[in-house]
Amino acid sequence: MHATRTIADVMTRGAHTLKPEDSIIRAAQTMDELDVGVLPLCDGDGNLVGLVTDRDIVLRAVAKNRLSESVPLQEVMSHEVVWCFEDEPVDDVLDDMVQRQIRRLPVMDRQKNLVGMVSLGDVAAKTQNRGIGGALGEISLPAAPARRRPNAPRSGEYELPEVVNADLAEVNLGRS
């Protein structure tokens, strides 16, 4: 029998951080350099205060024509941060990620210092967890984009296509 794997066994250590005052452009450049899609944001004392994702930048800055050096990350970042402890069991954290539909989490030590990040990719690559495909399917629901109803004004009336369990096998994971 093997010991339960913890997040410390699968996480990526040494997450690069930015400050909420840093610019959106700097975040995008950092994401490009590091080949990541999320950056933790810490205050001057090193406390985790938010996250910024590539999606945050696109939806809250680019789509609203607010992309410039003068726009700070605090205007587009996600303030409500869900995180986990490094000594938590992988299965427990994975269950929480599924419930909250989150793909990446900051990882803290018991003194609440940021020690790294964990993603579904980390769990898939470093464990034999057979539930990872199901977890990704659950997190990705709905698996189809919201579409505007025909003849609806540009400002609203979106509808989500119905997705049933049988459709989970059809989820495109970006592979050809």
Q: What is the CATH number of the domain that holds 101?
A: 3.10.580.10
pLDDT for 8 equals 94
Determine the average pLDDT of the residues in 101-130. Answer: 86
Say whether pLDDT at 127 is over 80: no
Query: Furthest-apart CA pair in the chain: how many Å?
Result: 60
Per-residue pLDDT at 112 exceeds 90 = yes
Pick the closest to residue 50 from 38, 62, 59, 64 (CA basis): 38
2 occurs within a structural domain: no
Domain membership flag for residue 164: no
Query: Which residues neighbour 100 within 8 Å (Cβ) at sequence distance 6 or greater?
Result: 82
Confidence of residue 145 (pLDDT cuts 50, 70, 90): low
Residue 144 maps to a domain? no
Asked, for residue 129, whether it belongs to a domain, the answer is yes
Residue 107 backbone class (left: φ over 0; alpha: ψ -120 to 50; beta: rest)? beta
Q: What is the pLDDT of residues 20-52, one digit of tens each?
A: 999 999 999 999 999 999 999 999 888 999 999
- CA 148 to CA 68: how far, in whole Å? 29
For residue 92, is it within any domain? yes
Both tokens of 28, joined, read 């995008």
Residue with tokens 């090193």: 46
Look at residue 149 and give its three-state secondary structure.
coil
Mean pLDDT, rounded, for 162-173: 36
Domain assignment of residue 82, given as a range: 7-139
Residue 75, SS3 per DSSP: helix
Answer yes or no: is 45 within a domain: yes
Instruction: Decide if 99 is inside a domain.
Output: yes
Residue 114 pLDDT > 60: yes
pLDDT band at 134 (very low <50, low <70, confident <90, very high): low
Q: Is the pLDDT score of 113 beyond 60?
A: yes
Confidence of residue 154 (pLDDT cuts 50, 70, 90): low
Whether 147 is in a domain gets the answer no
Q: What are phi and psi of 98, to 5 degrees?
A: -65, -50
Number of structural domains found in the chain: 1
72 pLDDT exceeds 70? yes
